[in-house]
Amino acid sequence: MASPIFEAPQSQQAHRRMLLISFHFPPSTGVGGRRWLAFLKFFGEHDWAADVVTRDPALLPPAVRDETLLSELPPGTRLFGVPAVRPGALDLPFRVARRLGLIGRGRRGGGGGAAVPAPQSVPRAQVESSSLSIRRRLLRAYVVLWHFAEARAWARTARRIALSANRGKTIDLVVSSGPPHAAHDAARSIARALGRPYIADFRDPWSHSERLPENIASPLWYSLAKRLEARIVRDASLVVMNTEPSARAMRASYPKAADKIITIWNGSDDEPLPVPQPTTRFTIRYAGTVYIDRDPGPLFDAAARVIRELKLSPANFGILFMGDVQEFAGRSVKDIALSYGVAEYIELQPPGSRAAVARFMADASMLISLPQDTVTAVPGKIFEYVRIPAWLLALADDDSATAQLLSGSGADVCPASDVDAITRVIREHYVEFASGVRPSPIGADGRFDRRQQAARLIDRALKIVSERRDQRAMRAAPRPVSPRNETI
């Protein structure tokens, strides 16, 4: 029987038990892991406990590992680690090709099938109308096969560990969280073996991914993703996406399953925030990564106009970035700022701890969300920004998930192409700030709270478990014996 690598103590047995399969989970600091760490806390308040099968923490790079997160796990949570896996016969040729430089390293899928944008990524339209050489297409197709083989290997290993860990125990519900979407393949197999319902929390699109890392940017990736996704949607009792545009796309693809495809945002947590420090300097702040399409140029352009118009100095106006923010599209962010004439107003800070990031955001006058061309996704930092007493400016198109999320909230949303509008917003709020006005958090009314999102998910989970129990009870009940027809 598999042994847990961590177990949160509990004083009494929970009434219900969940089995969660998620590649990302604490002590990993990834957004996906944070999502289910928070959700499990709320499930725990409703008498649920969980067994979590996740990537072995020993495989985590130190930069994304935080052991203190384990102290936040609700009582009764047990963690089981999945070791590194090899995708069988495809592995050796893959490693040889990568060593020879024929295959780029990109960003590892870590279980396969993860459409996580890498620094070099390709929009879907370019993937499906590629003019690449036959050799390059074949190499990409091979890497796709390798990634999906790795995914299946990870799913099989997770299944074995999960079934071993829960031998003789009662599991009420199986849940999977992706990406990487290998978790859903494992959960589907486990649920069938246990005869239990399962919920597939896709979070981000799979076959609808709008970008792929360059080394797997092949139509074959979409074909395989679609085939596996269809099985998951067919068999899952509930399919969860984290934005409404993603959910709509899934409903359009699977109309027969439309009633069981829902949206559950990531949501905002209620942990204490640092108190903002009094200041007379107006600062626009960004926390995160500058990559792919998150071009700071429109912000720098608009800021330069405001600086010239109002004759501002670095003493009363600044733009601060924190995170992996040194380069964009192969250029230094400082050089980009210099080209707009605002280099002396820019401060770039390296990635920091959760506490340091919270401190950084708390002192903002305005928080900025940079543009992205993945219109179905909402940057995770948005749900942190809405808790801060600062103006919020999102550079997003009107049809994007970000714009829809923030509609009616008081946040400013401008297309990145409309520098005039961005300029007006910055100027207006600077003038307010200079006159002594300080904003309230965008999410002060609770509309973005994760607790509300968790409540909807818990209600559906309870209904699913109750219905499956009723079905099992009906099958187990003895059938009434019909009296023999008597001939008169």
Residues 187 and 290 in one domain: no
Q: Does 448 map to a domain?
A: no
User: 3-state class of 351 per DSSP?
Assistant: coil
Tokens of 450: 């994760």
Residue 481: predicted pLDDT? 60
Sequence-distant (≥ 6) Cβ neighbours of residue 393 within 8 angstroms: 284, 366, 367, 368, 369, 411, 412, 413, 414, 422, 425, 426
Q: Does 471 map to a domain?
A: no
Tell me the whole-structure pTM to 2 decimals. 0.86
Dihedral pair phi/psi, residue 273, rounded to 5°: -115, 150
Q: Does 478 map to a domain?
A: no
Q: Does 383 map to a domain?
A: yes
Number of domains in the chain: 2
User: 3-state class of 332 per DSSP?
Assistant: strand
Q: Does 232 map to a domain?
A: yes
Residues 16 and 125 in one domain: yes
* DSSP E strands, 93-182: 121-123, 173-177
Residues 300 and 252 in one domain: no
Residue 94: predicted pLDDT? 63
Residue 77: predicted pLDDT? 95
Give the domain range for residue 293: 282-434
Q: Does 298 map to a domain?
A: yes
Residues 330 and 377 in one domain: yes
Residues 402 and 304 in one domain: yes
User: 3-state class of 169 per DSSP?
Assistant: coil
Residues 309 and 254 in one domain: no
Residues 248 and 387 in one domain: no
- Report the CATH number at residue 220: 3.40.50.2000
User: What end-to-end distance do the CA atoms of the chain give, in Å?
Assistant: 64
Query: What torsion, rounded to 10 degrees, do the Cα atoms 367, 368, 374, 380 define?
Result: -20
Residues 254 and 299 in one domain: no
Number of H helices, E strands in the chain: 14, 18
Residue 91: predicted pLDDT? 63
Residue 62: predicted pLDDT? 87
Residues 345 and 424 in one domain: yes
Residue 487: predicted pLDDT? 42
Residues 289 and 237 in one domain: no
Residues 216 and 289 in one domain: no
Residue 83: predicted pLDDT? 95
Mark which of 263, 297, 326 sits at the end of a domain.
263
| Order of strands, sheet of 317-324, starting from the edge strand that comes earlier in the sequence | 346-349, 317-324, 282-289, 366-369, 391-395, 412-414
Sequence-distant (≥ 6) Cβ neighbours of residue 473 within 8 angstroms: none
Residues 304 and 208 in one domain: no
Q: Does 439 map to a domain?
A: no
Mark which of 235, 263, 291 sits at the end of a domain.
263
Residue 107: predicted pLDDT? 41
What's the length of the chain? 488
Dihedral pair phi/psi, residue 367, rounded to 5°: -105, 140
For residues 184 and 233, give the distance between their C-alpha atoms in angstroms, rounded to a whole number.
Answer: 10
Residues 133-183: tens digit of each pLDDT = 888 888 889 889 999 999 999 999 999 999 998 887 789 999 999 999 999
Low-confidence spans in the chain with pLDDT less than 50: 106-119, 485-488
Mark which of 217, 235, 263 sits at the end of a domain.
263
- Residue 189 parent element (H or E): helix 182-194
Please answer whether residues 399 and 415 qualify as being in contact, where contact means their C-beta atoms are separated by less than 8 angstroms: no
